[in-house]
Each structure stands twice: as structure tokens, then as C-alpha cells.
Amino acid sequence: GQNIDQPTEMTATEGAIVQINCTYQTSGFNGLFWYQQHAGEAPTFLSYNVLDGLEEKGRFSSFLSRSKGYSYLLLKELQMKDSASYLCAGLDSNYQLIWGAGTKLIIKP
Amino acid sequence: NAGVMQNPRHLVRRRGQEARLRCSPMKGHSHVYWYRQLPEEGLKFMVYLQKENIIDESGMPKERFSAEFPKEGPSILRIQQVVRGDSAAYFCASSPPYNEQFFGPGTRLTVL
């Protein structure tokens, strides 16, 4: 079966760094997406990885290891506005997104 | 280029009534996806459509729910004889082929 696993909730301190992990099992693999979703709002696209390695985009970076079926989202210099759910999603061989349940990130002052 | 549009943003129905949710994809996007999200829970895939075709409806309940994406006009998610358990946020997303999905603002359905 297809499955995306990520922690349910994480807590971090303003100004710190946090890493949100995601492991995936998909039928075929065409890439890994990260989305951010603030409470009551729609998900918004953060990153897409299809090759191994780290992709950096400002304060956010995303890493992929295809051999390990593993990705992480790294958030630096955390701000209060980063409090949100972070959704990991794998694109399978049919180019359909398989979604994780999301990681709720709580930022404390 | 307008983003994905959904209407209504909020919909209140009494048990037994019908709910119709509309989604207009971004210009140039031929793929539409519908998701349901309960409070404090993740996105649950419902159905994936291309123009005039249902590609994958594996996440759609077998009864009372239907979806269409006609040649002209928005995609429609229809829920017949709504029950309290249908209360949720329903998100529509669109994409070009094999690419990231862009989400609409969602329709929040409340069943009284």
C-alpha cells in the first residue's frame, strides 16, 4: 500500500531551527511535495524535490533521499507566523499525490 | 491570472438537503482534485477529474456523493441528503498535467 508518515505535532521556539521528517512509500515515485497550511486556510505550495539532495529557498529547505524513502523540511529563524500545519505528499507513478496527515508546528516565544 | 476559485465559501444545510460545491480551476489547468478536511485532521483525497472524465474516485463515498467536470463551466461536487458527518472543509485543487496542485480557498459545509 501507499503511505506517508510524519509526526503529528512539533513545538519549537521563535528564532530556532526545526526539522520536520517525512517517510514515504508510494507505487512508483515522481517527486515529493511540501505544503504549508494555516488554520482555516487552503494549503500553499512550499517545495518540490525529485532528485536526491537539499533544495534551499530562503528560510525553508527541503531534503530528499530516494533510497531511504525519506524527506525533511527544515525551517530556520523561526517566526511566529510559521505556526501552521506542514503537509508532506508523494507523487506516485500515476502522478497522483499521496498525502500525509500533516505536522502541526507550534512556535513559542 | 486568477487562482483557483471556489464557491460558496460557506454553506449551511439542514440534514437531508443537497449541497453543491463549485470549483473553477486556474486558467490552463485541466486537472481538478477534490479533498475533504475535518477539523484538526489532514486532507483526504476524494476524486480526481479531467474535463468530462473521472480519473480516480477511490476516495469518494459510494453513496450520496458525485462529482463532475463538464466541458464548459466549473467542476461540481454534489452531496445528496447531507448528514451531520458531512460537515467539513472541502478543498478543490487544480494543476497542469504532472505538476504541483494549487488549492482554492475551500468551502466550509455545516450541516445542522
Distance CA A105, CA A81 (A): 10
Distance CA B64, CA B49 (A): 18
Mean pLDDT of A92-105: 88
> Is the pLDDT assigned to residue A89 strictly greater than 90?
yes
Taking an 8 Å cut-off on Cβ atoms, the answer to whether B42 and A97 are in contact is: no
> Is the pLDDT assigned to residue B112 strictly greater than 80?
yes
> Is the pLDDT assigned to residue A20 strictly greater than 60?
yes
Other beta carbons within 10 angstroms of residue A50's beta carbon come to 13
Would you call B58 an interface residue with chain A, using a CB distance cutoff of 8 Å?
no
Task: Provide the pLDDT confidence category of residue B2 given band limits of 50, 70 and 90.
Answer: confident
Closest CA to A16 of A103, A85, A87, A75: A75
Q: What is the pLDDT of residue A14?
A: 97
For testing the chain B interface, which of A3, A37, A97 should be mutated: the one with the most B CBs within 10 Å?
A97
Tally C-beta pairs within 8 A across A and B: 40
Of A41, A95, A101, the CB nearest to B42: A101
Of B42, B45, B56, the CB nearest to A102: B42
Residue of B nearest to A4 (CA): B42
Cα of B85 to nearest chain A Cα, Å = 18
> Is the pLDDT assigned to residue A56 strictly greater than 70?
yes
Residue of A nearest to B89 (CA): A40
> Is the pLDDT assigned to residue A64 strictly greater than 60?
yes
For testing the chain B interface, which of A44, A47, A95 should be mutated: the one with the most B CBs within 10 Å?
A95
**B110 grid coordinates:** 455545516
The helix or strand, by DSSP H or E, that contains position B78, with its residue range, turns out to be strand B75-79
pLDDT, one tens digit per residue, over A29-38 is: 889 999 999 9
Mean pLDDT of A93-108: 90
Q: What is the pLDDT of residue B49?
A: 94
Q: What is the pLDDT of residue B1?
A: 55
pLDDT, one tens digit per residue, over B45-101 is: 999 999 889 999 989 999 999 999 999 999 999 999 999 999 999 999 999 877 789
Would you call B110 an interface residue with chain A, using a CB distance cutoff of 8 Å?
no
- Whether residue A56 contacts residue A40, with contact meaning beta carbons closer than 8 Å, is answered with no
Q: What is the pLDDT of residue A21?
A: 98
- Whether residue A75 contacts residue A82, with contact meaning beta carbons closer than 8 Å, is answered with yes
Mean of pLDDT over chain A = 94
Closest CA to B34 of B24, B20, B49, B19: B49
At residue B28, the 3 state secondary structure works out as coil
**Encoded amino acid at A38, one letter:** H
Distance CA B41, CA B21 (A): 21
Task: Provide the pLDDT confidence category of residue A2 given band limits of 50, 70 and 90.
Answer: confident
Q: What is the pLDDT of residue B97?
A: 77
